[in-house]
Amino acid sequence: MKIQIGRYLLWAAGLLAGAGAMAQSKNELSVYAGGGISTLLYSSSALQSSQNVGGHAGLGYTLFFTPKWGIGTGAEIALLNAKASFATLSDAYNANDGTDNMIFHYTAYDYSEKIQIYSLNIPLMIYFRSPVSQSMTFYAGLGAKASIPLQSTVEATMPRAATAGYYPAYHADLHMPAFRGFGSFENLELDGAPAFLISYAASAEVGIKWKLTGNWSIYTGVYVDYGVTNMVDDKQDKPFIPYNETAWNTNPVSYYHSVLVSQYARNAPMVDKFTADNFETATGNLQAIAGNVTSLAAGLKIKVIFGESGEKKHCLPCLRYELDTRGTKKK
């Protein structure tokens, strides 16, 4: 009987000690970093995208309002690397060469555009934790991130573009002269770079927290951030290769816009297959080249956490084992 009473007293003391520890251990501070896939997604089928490497690093704070549930925020610097490309893209639209109206049409070949974006991310997460053992705690988080663009660069190359002009008044399709902007052109130049908006992403992570010593722990897990809003600050209504109708005795085709701000006639034929009969069909199918532009980041994450979170003290299986062991020794 004395042994049973002692066991109950130990149980009560352990539970009270655990409650006291949790009252003083609601806060966790962390330094973390993550890396893996970091790219842009395009809703249009005109572009091909590649999965590029990026990551983030930041500071976090989590307040646990119950032993298992908490809310976290912080600040992180993120790097996104993306690439957009196409083998061929054709377009046709109304233009004027300075004297006559025409239908300007072109085909661009082997285009590639690289995008790099640094941003400040502000996460807001709900965390769930559950002790697995005295040294391990299961963690899962779900929430959202606001991404504020800090710096961005766009580098693009277009080795070749072929252009022509159809003049309905003369029933003529001209593939020359070059000073009118008709012919084959090489190594055109990118006209500036698009601006990016504050965007939002759904965020999730899952992993294991490993207790080290004292108030220090380390967390390893995986994460995914899936963009839900458009990132590009533009109407995406510019012609990809603009025709400069004021040019005369100069090269009117000297630059192009980023695919992130451009539109095209989806069913426009290639230059060597263009006819006036299908122009109305082509221009009736205008769409943004990139479409809706969102982000995707996923990979591995590691955190160094400071804050005695009390998982061991409120881990009932662990506590029961300790108390049973003590009772057995007293026998």
- Whether 165 and 138 map to the same domain: the answer is yes
Q: Which DSSP helix (H) or strand (E) runs through 14? A: helix 2-23
Q: Is the pLDDT of residue 4 over 80?
A: no
Q: Is the pLDDT of residue 50 over 60?
A: yes
- Whether 287 and 316 map to the same domain: the answer is no
Residue range 210-263, pLDDT digits in tens: 999 888 999 999 999 999 999 998 788 899 999 876 655 566 788 899 999 999
Burial (CB count <10 Å: 0-12, 13-18, 19+), residue 171: exposed
- Whether 74 and 84 map to the same domain: the answer is yes
Residue 105 is predicted with a pLDDT of: 93
Residue 290 is predicted with a pLDDT of: 93
Instruction: Give the mean pLDDT of 165-193.
Output: 88
- Whether 323 and 174 map to the same domain: the answer is no
Domain that holds residue 14: 1-25+310-331
- Whether 323 and 265 map to the same domain: the answer is no
Residue 132 is predicted with a pLDDT of: 92
Q: Of 21-30, 108-117, 254-263, give the lowest mean pLDDT range.
A: 21-30
- Whether 91 and 77 map to the same domain: the answer is yes
Instruction: Give the mean pLDDT of 298-303.
Output: 97
- Whether 282 and 148 map to the same domain: the answer is yes
| Confidence at 83, pLDDT banded by 50, 70, 90 | very high
Nearest alpha-carbon partner for 69 in 160, 130, 1: 130
| Confidence at 127, pLDDT banded by 50, 70, 90 | very high
What's the chain's Rg over C-alpha atoms? 31
| Confidence at 323, pLDDT banded by 50, 70, 90 | very low
Q: How many structural domains comprise the chain?
A: 2
- Whether 70 and 18 map to the same domain: the answer is no
- Whether 61 and 180 map to the same domain: the answer is yes
- CATH number of the domain residue 194 falls in: 2.40.160.20
In eight-state DSSP terms, residue 317 is: H
- Whether 232 and 316 map to the same domain: the answer is no
E-assigned strand segments in the chain:
27-42, 48-49, 53-64, 69-96, 101-131, 136-157, 160-167, 172-174, 183-186, 189-190, 199-213, 216-227, 238-239, 255-256, 262-265, 286-288, 293-306
Tokens coding 311: 């998982």
- Whether 20 and 31 map to the same domain: the answer is no
Is the whole-model pTM more than 0.85?
Answer: no
- Whether 207 and 314 map to the same domain: the answer is no
In eight-state DSSP terms, residue 176 is: -
